[in-house]
Amino acid sequence: MIKTALVTGATSGFGRAIALRLGKLGYKVIITGRREERLKEVAKELQNAGTEVLTLNFDVRSFDESQKALGNLPEKFQQIDLLVNNAGLAAGQASFEQCKMDDFERMIDTNIKGLIYISKLITPQMVARGSGHIVNLSSIAGIEVYPNGNIYCATKHAVNAITKGMRLDLVGKGVKVSSISPGMAETEFSLVRFGGDEQRAKAVYNGLEPMTADDIADALEFIITRPPHVCIQDILLTPSAQANTYVSERK
């Protein structure tokens, strides 16, 4: 039977690359995001590659919107075999006392609460069936805290705690829970983080070769293609030039 995957935040970056990869691996794909035009573009790419796709245009920060979107799935997309909790962002990068409260709220609401909302809506059907796989997009920032990373790092530490908690509660129920913890990868991430400042976003990757979204899709592919008796708990991957969150070799 053809499997179905739900990928949140598939309008750009990792989510888009993962959706395209899942299509190549033979999945039907449900893609989500707030930017409707972008969703349509990614859907077109998937369809052109022969993948069956459903677009859901909603904000993961709203449980109500998430529930409406996921509670009304067409029959052939109702059984979700793989959930990729990818939607997320960093907002700003500044010392704790200077950060905007609104940025804190956006990161907490998206990266933590959004991931919880989607997981709460999908996990029961996986447990009832006794099969499923949840992959959460964490970060190297979920393992280390770096200066001016404060609340973004806190949200990814929370993602790791939620991932471990879910794994503890779902072990023996046929549902695998994994995470991916990337270091620097060039997507729209830094552009979003710096409020559209292209120069500042570009400077993040000055003098080194960052990872691409495809590198993260490779990690996802490895995780989901292991045999049933193997669960990859986490993959931490960085550019070769990045040692940790604050030590990188730049030419």
Question: Which residues of the chain form contacts with ligand NDP (CB under 6 A)?
Answer: 9-15, 33-35, 38, 59-61, 86-89, 110, 114, 137, 139, 182, 184-185, 187-189, 192
φ, ψ of residue 211 to 5 degrees: the values are: -75, 165
Considering CB distances under 5 to 8 angstroms, the limit depending on partner class, which of ligand 8X3, ligand NDP, none binds residue 23?
none
Q: Which residue, 12, 11, 54, 47, is CA-closest to 30?
A: 54
The binder of 14, among ligand 8X3, ligand NDP, none, by C-beta within 5 to 8 A per type, is ligand NDP
Closest CA to 25 of 53, 51, 54, 56: 51
- 166-174: long-range contacts, CB 8 A cutoff, minimum separation 24: 166/119, 166/123, 166/134, 167/231, 167/233, 170/123, 170/126, 170/127, 173/126, 173/127, 173/130, 174/126, 174/127, 174/129, 174/130, 174/131, 174/132
Residue 201's CB: how many other CB atoms inside 10 A? 18
- Binding to ligand 8X3 by CB under 6 A, coded x per residue (else -) over 164-193, reads -------------------xx---------
Minimum distance of ligand 8X3 from residue 139's CB (angstroms): 3
Give the pair of three-digit tokens for residue 33: 């995001």
Among the listed residues 90, 197, 94, the one whose alpha carbon sits nearest the alpha carbon of residue 139: 90
Least Cα distance to 188 among 41, 4, 10, 61 occurs for 10
Asked about 246 being catalytic, the answer comes back as no
Q: How far is the CB of 12 from ligand 8X3 (least distance, A)?
A: 14
The residue (of 204 and 231) whose beta carbon lies closer to ligand NDP is 204
- What span, in angstroms and rounded, lies between the C-alpha atoms of 123 and 127? 6
Indicate which of ligand 8X3, ligand NDP, none lies near residue 3 (CB less than 5 to 8 Å, by partner kind): none
Q: Is 245 in the site for ligand 8X3 (CB under 6 A)?
A: yes
**Distance in Å, CB of 189 to ligand NDP, minimum:** 3
Question: Which of 27, 117, 152, 205 is flagged as catalytic?
Answer: 152
Q: How far is the CB of 110 from ligand 8X3 (least distance, A)?
A: 13
- Residue 137 in 3-state DSSP? strand
245 binds, among ligand 8X3, ligand NDP, none (CB under 5 to 8 A by kind): ligand 8X3
- Name the residue nearer to ligand NDP (CB basis): 52 or 215: 215
Task: Closer to ligand 8X3 by CB, 7 or 43: give it.
Answer: 7
**At its nearest, how many Å lie between ligand NDP and the CB of residue 227?**
27
> What is the token pair recorded at 189?
């991430």
| 217 within 8 A of 18, measured Cβ to Cβ | yes
CA pseudo-torsion sign 158, 164, 165, 170: positive
Size of the site for ligand 8X3 (CB under 6 A): 7
Q: Does 155 bind ligand 8X3 (CB under 6 A)?
A: no
Q: Which residues are catalytic?
A: 152
Chain contacts with ligand 8X3 (rule: CB under 6 A): 139-141, 149, 183-184, 245
